[in-house]
Amino acid sequence: SSPLPQELEEARRWKGVRDLRPLDGNVRRWGGLLLPNNPPYNAGAFRFELTFSSHHPLEPPRATLCTPIYHPAVDSEGHVCQPLTTHEHWAPATRAVQVLQDLLQLLDSPDPQQMLRPDLARELQEHPEQFRHRAEEHTRLHAEKRPDSPGP
């Protein structure tokens, strides 16, 4: 039987996400809101999807950001440069909540070395103030309102 129902319950208890649930009743597709802690992204909430293969936990899940974000590690399709979920770094013992924690850490600390958008990585390195300003503006325009209270 799948470990996913227990992993979903475990992930729901973590304070970095809200509204985490299976999409279309499919336990292999989760959706929710990620709540970054640091500027420039902490003014909003970002909808994400986590998709598990039928070979989970032997294969890593795939995280996709559904909310547009101005970030060097996230492309315009919402694909995320997340080393933890690459086949080289994936370990079957890794829990779904760790994937979400890693994703939040990635959003909270943009790293020009982890990039899918070289233009934004270059801007972050060469013009950090301009990058931060644009990312804040983008967050204000695109991110969802943060939920006030903790809970499912």
Contact between 44 and 145 under an 8 Å Cβ cutoff? The reply is yes
Q: Give yes or no: 81 in active site.
A: yes
Q: Which of 81, 106, 121, 135 is catalytic?
A: 81
Contacts of 73 (CB under 8 A, 6+ apart): 80, 81, 82, 106, 110, 111, 114, 115, 116, 117
Contact between 50 and 96 under an 8 Å Cβ cutoff? The reply is yes
State the DSSP code for 147.
Answer: P
Catalytic residues: 81
